[in-house]
Chains A and B, each alone.
Chain A
Amino acid sequence: MRAFANLYTRLDQTTKTNTKVAELARFFDQANDEDRLWTVAILSHRRPKRTVNTTLLRHWAAELAGIPLWLFEESYHVVGDLSEAIALTLPKAHSSNKQGLTYWIEYIKALDKLEETEKKQRVTDAWMQMDYTERLVFNKLIMGGFRIGVSQKLMVRALAQSTAIDENTLAHRIMGDWTPDKTTFEDLILTKDPLEDVSKPYPFYLAYALEDSPDDLGLPKDWIAERKWDGIRGQLIVRKGELFVWSRGEELVTDKFPEYHPLAEILPNGTVIDGEILPYKDGQPLTFNDLQTRIGRKNVTKKILEKAPVVLVAYDLLEWEGQDIRERPMEERRALLEQLLEQTETDGILMLSERVNFSTWQELEPERQNARQYHSEGLMLKHKGSPYRSGRKKGDWWKWKVEPLTIDAVMIYAQRGHGRRANLYTDFTFAVWDDKQLVPFTKAYSGLTDKEFREITAWVRRNTIDRFGPVRSVEPAHVFEIAFEGIRKSSRHKSGVALRFPRISRWRKDKPLKEANTLEDLHQLLKLYEEGG
């Protein structure tokens, strides 16, 4: 695994995209086909499953290192990454190994069926013939969460450099339902005609957020606006009488959404639609939370189907009559989509993403501000002439999100961060006033600058009232503005509300403690904006 571990180190040592791509391309040039295929798999989220639970790994590592478990746990907290903590703590290796990436992945997969004692033997054997980086990589592979700091997009670019095959073609070829066990590098990457595999989706086109006003985008008449729905981006494919549904995570989710199954008969063969998988009932979208709960379940029961049925809100048409039409202008694709939906009776399963009409950007602004009324996240702006591109590209599509909701709250607990922020207090619990009491209602961590984190860390150290494990309760003294995307009722929280995507937006040094918001204010927001209410 030395070569792959070295690759890992080099990728870790640079933040520069070009260097990363060059290193990866060099690895692809030198590795054998098996290792190349596994590398493609790992970097396209096809990681091997976790075969040993992390509690066992902690115990074995502590035992091997001759330290008590509590000390290992504390060390882990400081390091912030379990694979790294284990790799750093283990004693020196007895020997080295010459096996490649594929060998070790097979080794890890084979652990799955073993008894605990055998697992332990195999894992410790492996550890004791690896250096620090090999252990780090091995641990990450065992835990099933291997990440290497290279996006799929960059991996494809490196692969393109190494194989001299066009990037988009490769992006297409590596999509779909494959694993390294079922194919070869030759078949998957080097062989032409990707449409042979009828399930293959197109890469999603993702938009960037619009930070400034849309005035710089040019003439409003060249653009269309749609609502940005808060579901899961999906691609629906009907080819050769078969239906496939892909999520943006490039996961085949056909089985999770039986609602769509009739479309295999209804839609003509050679149709691919880009849309939003949206939970929808009684003419209203439900909350993202409803969808998430549904996806988390193993089986789609009748009850779930009744509670959170989904529709597909169609945004775009990518393939029509078996032709890839992504290069045609958006306006043309949309006309075809509208025509298709008009002529097809889908029993409400397939809905057109309605256009929001406007003639000036000013007219559009209130529509964006109203987004919450529609349970949407804001607007999508799309240039009428735009092709359907691959991946996240600037210029033709923009998401124009609604301003977040905010509330001023008092910090009452602080916890040290993980990983790169292990020495700083970065995780805080915030409270609002309820009469003369402070009621905690949310945690938030991101949003301050490193300088501010250092400042608050120094303050926390001096103003701790009490410690509970890694958490410190502090003197209520500082007011922060908390921004969030949504609010809903929650019986699990003392405050009775739960926030969506809370983060710190500002340190309100100007605000006296007494002027922080109240629980009453929170419940007012709940009334106004409750998700799915």
Chain B
Amino acid sequence: MALLEFTNKGIYCPPADVYIDPWRPVSKALITHGHADHSRWGHQHYLCTEAAAPVIRYRLGNINLSTVQFGEATTINGVKFSFHPAGHIVGSAQIRVEHKGEVWVASGDYKVAPDGLSEPFEPVRCHTFITESTFGLPVYRWKPQDTVFEEINDWWRQNRDQGKVSVLAAYALGKAQRLLHGIDAEIGPIFTHGAIEKTTQVMRKQGIRLPETRRITQQYKSKDFEGSLVLATPSATGSNWMRRFKSASVGIASGWMALRGTRRRRAADRGFVLSDHADWNELNDAIKATGAERVAVTHGYTNLFARWLREECGLDAWEAATEYEGESLDKDDAEDMENEKDA
């Protein structure tokens, strides 16, 4: 019996009888982070890091939630669990599981390069590592985020000088706040789509300092937006919601923007390659740093990345079936929709 198993409900730990990021209702769920595919409705009990808790509470409402600090150990039925920074979004964790000398780490989603906002990724030694592979192909290699922010700032400045609105599409939880933190807020006013504003408020309340933003409401006229930066959810940029801007340039910040094809398909004016997931080099470095000999590969190019690890890196790697979704861009994100209703 393996310490962690992939079942139809989620990643299951038999000796402790708990699940990690389950996608069907269970009695006890350990949650890596607040993205919708990792923290779902309906579990009887939730455990996550203190920093991840506010957003999860905001999203899931009145749930039975306990928190731990990063690095703090919790023992359940003799199995030792601890949470370690995954560098993906604020509060996101890899979950270390230790039982009778055997160590597994479930990484959830992660990125290695620090973004200045999330707790920096911490390599954790283990025997078996559960990795994501959202961008697990050698064509995905990120530029330093400073370079990307410079590109965004230049784009915004240029639009501002032409009296245009710069509408930047970004995932409401994580990416939007990373953008707020990284851009040059001196360039002009910043507006936010309702879904983004709410998440941002939650994070401000937990002590994260972000530049001032104004939530977009009916009271603003198209004139008010001229020269400003608007942070919008990906689904909003393709909808009637955009009508309020007279002349806008639309940008998208996502790892998928690395490919010209995806950029075109989204019909955006600009694509900025900025991801909260590890790129090809980071995935390989992170796996090496764990010292793991066995690697389970989840979301993304699972079969290709697992084959690479097996054939070229000499690891016992396999493709694990999960319902995680990676960086969402194409589908209408359920969370966006849910928040838009009351936006």
Contacts and interface: CB of A to CB of B under 8 A. Distances in A.
Contact of B267 (A15, A88, A419, A423): A15
Interface residues of B, number: 23
B265 A421 contact: yes
B269 A85 contact: no
A89 B138 contact: yes
Interface in B291-318: 301, 304, 307-308, 311-312
A420 interface: yes
B137 A75 contact: yes
A74 B137 contact: yes
A71 B308 contact: yes
B139 A89 contact: yes
Contacts of B311: 68
Contacts of A85: 139
Given A14-B269, A15-B267, A74-B304, A81 B260 contact: yes
Contacts of B258: 88
Contact of A422 (B138, B259, B307): B259
A328 B172 CA distance: 62
Contacts of B140: 88
Given A12-B260, A13-B269, A80-B261, A423 B139 contact: no
Interface string B29-56: 0000000000000000000000000000
B99 interface: no
B304 A420 contact: no
B259 A79 contact: yes
A88 B264 contact: no
B141 A88 contact: yes
Contact of B138 (A65, A81, A420): A65
Interface string A1-21: 000000000001111000000
B312 A68 contact: yes
Interface string B121-143: 00000000000000001111100
A71 B138 contact: yes
B224 interface: no
B312 to A, nearest CB: 6
Interface string A453-479: 010000000000000000000000000
Interface string A408-433: 00000000001111110000000000
Contacts of A71: 137-138, 304, 307-308, 312
A290 interface: no
Nearest to A84: B260
A516 interface: no
Contacts, number: 68
Contacts of B80: none
B215 interface: no
Nearest to B262: A420
Interface in A54-106: 65, 67-68, 70-72, 74-75, 78-81, 84-85, 88-89
B154 interface: no
A450 interface: yes
| Size band of the interface chain A makes with B | 20 to 34
B199 to A, nearest CB: 26
A65 B141 CA distance: 12
Interface in A32-64: none
A75 B138 contact: yes
A14 B262 CA distance: 14
- Pick the most buried of A80, A85, A420, A421: most chain B CB atoms within 10 A of its CB: A420
B261 A420 contact: yes
B330 interface: yes
Nearest to B256: A423
A12 B307 CA distance: 34
A93 to B, nearest CB: 13
B181 interface: no
B270 interface: yes
B330 A423 contact: yes
A418 B259 CA distance: 11
Contacts of A84: 259-260
Nearest to A423: B330
A190 B330 CA distance: 49
B248 to A, nearest CB: 13
A79 B261 contact: yes
Interface string B305-335: 0011001100000000000000000110000
Contacts of A14: 269
B297 to A, nearest CB: 14
Contacts of A78: 137, 139, 259, 301
Interface of A: 12-15, 65, 67-68, 70-72, 74-75, 78-81, 84-85, 88-89, 418-423, 450, 454
When A and B form their complex, which 3 residue pairs have the shortest distance between CB atoms, in order from nearest?
A88-B139, A420-B261, A419-B261
Interface of B: 137-141, 258-262, 264-265, 267, 269-270, 301, 304, 307-308, 311-312, 330-331
Given A65-B138, A454-B331, 14 more contacts: A12-B260, A13-B270, A67-B312, A68-B311, A70-B307, A71-B312, A75-B137, A78-B139, A78-B301, A79-B139, A84-B260, A88-B141, A88-B258, A423-B262
9 contacts: A12-B260, A13-B270, A68-B308, A71-B304, A71-B312, A72-B138, A80-B261, A420-B265, A454-B330
